[in-house]
Amino acid sequence: MTPRKTTLASAALACLAACTVPPASSTILVDAPSESATEWQPVADYLGHRCGSLDCHGDLQRSLIIWSCDGLRLDPTDVPGCHMGLHAPATTSGEYAATYRSLVGLEPNVMTEVIASGGADPDLLTFIRKARGEEAHKGGQLVVAGDAQDQCMCTWLAGNTNTNACTQAVSSTQ
């Protein structure tokens, strides 16, 4: 290869590499389900209880990270164990927000598609498929399509959280 060809090839490679790195300022817009206290927090409380223990998604090494008062804490001065009398504060607004971002940001394009359809096809989302046992999940199948746990998550995706289902989902798995 001549020096000129080498230079051209190097320039082409550099350009290709530059084109594959998104600029730091880029953003992805997500059509996301509600983050309001009434719509999201019952879902987050269920997820924290069922999926957020320290041996599962209450772990910073997971793709889906769940913060909750009985699991992983956001504030470095807080400890888990709010329901064990360990002087642990209840789940904080920061923890609700962090879990929301972790979940919604997992598959932003798919989330957008699901929300755009009014939650018509929730099992396009990996977290629903894993919970239902339709996809490999170390925790196994945890919910059955249509049960209270499933309704809690899917009604949130549909824009009208069934808070009774979420309450039942927590109490039935304590």
Partner 1 sequence: MIRRSLLAAAVTAGLIAPAACADPTHEAEVNALGPEVPGIPPGPTHRAGQPCLTCHGGLGPAGATFLTAGTVYVNPYTPGTTAYQPLVGGDVHLVDANRLTYDALTNEVGNFFVTPSQWNPTFPLGDAPADGGPLDISVGVASAGLGSATPMTTHIMRGGVYASCAYCHFDPPGPTSPGHVYQN
Q: Report the interface residues with partner 1, using CB under 8 A.
A: 49, 53-56, 58-60, 70-76, 78-81, 83-84, 86, 88, 138-140, 171-174
Comparing CB distances to partner 1, the nearer of 7 and 141 is 141
In the bound complex, what is the minimum distance in angstroms from residue 155's beta carbon to partner 1? 21
Under the phi-then-psi rule, with left for phi > 0, alpha for psi from -120 to 50, and beta for the rest, what region is 113?
Answer: alpha
In the bound complex, what is the minimum distance in angstroms from residue 128's beta carbon to partner 1? 18
Instruction: Please calculate the CA angle 26-32-36 and round it to the nearest 5 degrees.
Output: 120
Q: Count CB neighbours of 117 within 10 A.
A: 14
Comparing CB distances to partner 1, the nearer of 20 and 61 is 61
In the bound complex, what is the minimum distance in angstroms from residue 67's beta carbon to partner 1? 9
Q: Count CB neighbours of 81 within 10 A.
A: 14
Report helix, strand or coil for 53.
coil
- Residues ≥6 apart with Cβ < 8 Å to 144: 132, 150
In the bound complex, what is the minimum distance in angstroms from residue 127's beta carbon to partner 1? 16
Half-sphere exposure of 37 (CA within 13 A, CB side): 4
Comparing CB distances to partner 1, the nearer of 33 and 80 is 80
Comparing CB distances to partner 1, the nearer of 42 and 57 is 57
